[in-house]
Amino acid sequence: MEILVGLFALSTVVLAKVVWRLHSALRAKEDRLDYTESECERLQNHITKIARHVEEHNGGALFRIKECRETTEAIIQYAPDLFKNATGLVHWLSATDQFLRELDRITIEAAPTNRSETRALLSELCGPTTLYDRIKFGPPLSGLAS
């Protein structure tokens, strides 16, 4: 009988130790999850602040796209040979346009605004992205200037 009591006490101690380890592991996992959730929330707030800044600062990305395209059109109109002499310029302008379009898309996803009328107007004014393809692959630039 004493052996059974000893075995029972030993098994109780072992079981308590196992339960304690499981509890500690679950607690540690819960703490990591809490940290991950708070870090995720902090990063989301940071992204939202950046997106709002991009959207609200000096007209936002769409306004910069419009300016980039206007600059390209002005070069076509007033100095079409510039694209021939500086062959990388059209690629730089095109890449900037592409970067700004992607930034605008991400900004809308991260921090939607209620300025839909302004956005629609700017989108209309931006013109087509084919502007750069016309310069790269289209007719001679002297034909575009007229």
Query: Where along the chain do its domains lie?
Result: 2-144
CA distances from 66 to 1, 12, 98, 103, 143 (A): 91, 75, 12, 14, 23
Band the pLDDT of 117: cuts 50, 70, 90: low
The tokens for 67 are 């300016």
To the question of pTM greater than 0.85 for the whole model, the response is no
- What pLDDT score does 106 carry? 82
CA distances from 96 to 5, 29, 52, 92, 119 (A): 80, 44, 20, 6, 19
More confident residue, 48 or 123: 48
Mean pLDDT across 20-34: 85
Task: Tell me how long the chain is.
Answer: 146
Mean pLDDT across 97-101: 89
- What pLDDT score does 145 carry? 44
